[in-house]
Amino acid sequence: MAKAVKTIGVLTSGGDAPGMNAAIRAVVRTAIHEGLKVKGIMRGYAGLLSEEIVDMDSTSVSDIMHRGGTILYTARCMEFTTPEGQEQAAEICRKHGIDGIVVIGGDGSFRGAGKLAALGINTIGVPGTIDLDIACSEYTIGFDTAVNTAMEAIDKVRDTSTSHERCSIIEVMGRNAGFIALWCGFANGAEDILLPERYDGNEQALINRIIDNRKRGKKHNIIINAEGIGHSTSMARRIEAATGIETRATILGYMQRGGTPTCKDRVYASIMGAKAALLLAEGKSNRVVAYKNGAYVDFDIQEALSMKKDIPEDQYEIFKMLVR
């Protein structure tokens, strides 16, 4: 049953992602356009529980489009995962007159959004994560910036690997997903990619490929290892011992989450944020905005959370074909 909303809140939750500011800006300005009042909720669900809630107007989101991170800050909050925490959060929303919330974050944040929706607070999720691991959406805000940052960093590591004729294991983020690793694999022309969705742990096969590559005259050997597999430093030690080729590990880490958002992230974030505010203005709740088959759509939160996403097998096969 659609419920009219007058005041909405917006929060960012989970890992930050470049482009979140563009999404916040779009939520705020669209809501104002629709005649709604907007409140910013600081530090995700933690800030909701501690009532860090500020009024926002059109100028609150001026001059933020090009900035990485999130002006609302973000957090992970255990207390909110309990039924008591969720009841308290819904009560705080009622106290502040907030009858709808846009939650910009990943799957975990959407689970929380679903709980708030069940307690009568209209909620809409917007996919914001560098990991690209939200099953209902082909795009997540932050992925493009992160993957470009990683690509540029890997290019630099490649230069020095070539000069020293070394093998390099470069670890990229992605939690349990291998999308950043797959894309960098293509974009950096890596010799190997280790994806959580595919890696069978056969290190001897990896070592054999490195030896084979060296015999074929390759000066460097770039292996992109996804965070979900990890252990890059110990893997480098074992590879060096087995091959006799100097091997170094580089863990790119949080640099992938920061920086100026790319054009793509700004545009997707703007459209997704605006769609989320429009859904609230229409009285909708318990939806996630997504990009699917070339269009911006929305799904029921529980349906979205039950969907599965995998590395496309044809893309993985093409990667392997291109390095041989």
- Contact positions vs ligand F6P (CB under 6 A): 15, 106, 129-131, 173-175, 227, 257
Beta strands 7-12; 37-41: pairing state:
parallel
φ/ψ of 170, rounded to 5, equals: -120, 120
With contact defined as beta carbons under 8 Å apart, do 114 and 301 qualify?
Answer: yes
Catalytic-role residue among 131, 144, 192, 298: 131
Q: Does 228 bind ligand ADP (CB under 6 A)?
A: no
Choice from 19, 68, 106, 196 touching ligand ADP (CB under 6 A)? 106
Of 220 and 257, the one with the shorter C-beta distance to ligand F6P is 257
Q: Does 158 bind ligand ADP (CB under 6 A)?
A: no
Of 114 and 185, the one with the shorter C-beta distance to ligand ADP is 114
Q: Does 299 bind ligand ADP (CB under 6 A)?
A: no
Catalytic-residue membership of 131: yes
Dihedral angle computed from the Cα positions of residues 179, 180, 185 and 187, in that order, rounded to the nearest 10 degrees: 120
Choice from 60, 81, 88, 162 touching ligand ADP (CB under 6 A)? 81
Burial class (CB in 10 A: 0-12, 13-18, 19+), 126: buried
Binding window for ligand ADP (CB under 6 A); candidates: 13-21, 147-155, 194-202, 281-289: 13-21
Distance between CA atoms of 277 and 123, rounded to whole angstroms?
10
- In the region spanning residues 48 to 77, those forming contacts with ligand ADP, defined by CB under 6 A, are 76-77
Per-residue DSSP letters for 21-49? Answer: HHHHHHHHHHHHHTT-EEEEETTHHHHHH
Place of tokens 């705020």: 28
φ/ψ of 321, rounded to 5, equals: -65, -40
Q: Does 127 bind ligand ADP (CB under 6 A)?
A: no
Sequence-distant (6+) residues with CB within 8 A of 277 are 8, 26, 27, 28, 30, 31, 34, 36, 102, 124
Of 74 and 286, the one with the shorter C-beta distance to ligand F6P is 74
Q: Does 139 bind ligand ADP (CB under 6 A)?
A: no
- The footprint of ligand ADP on this chain (CB under 6 A) covers a number of residues equal to 17
Burial class (CB in 10 A: 0-12, 13-18, 19+), 245: middle
Of 118 and 323, the one with the shorter C-beta distance to ligand ADP is 118
Q: Does 80 bind ligand ADP (CB under 6 A)?
A: yes
81 binds, among ligand ADP, ligand F6P, none (CB under 5 to 8 A by kind): ligand ADP
Distance between CA atoms of 302 and 41, rounded to whole angstroms?
24
Which residues are near ligand ADP by CB under 6 A?
A: 13-15, 45, 76-77, 80-81, 105-109, 111-112, 115, 129
Q: Which sequence positions are flagged as catalytic?
A: 131
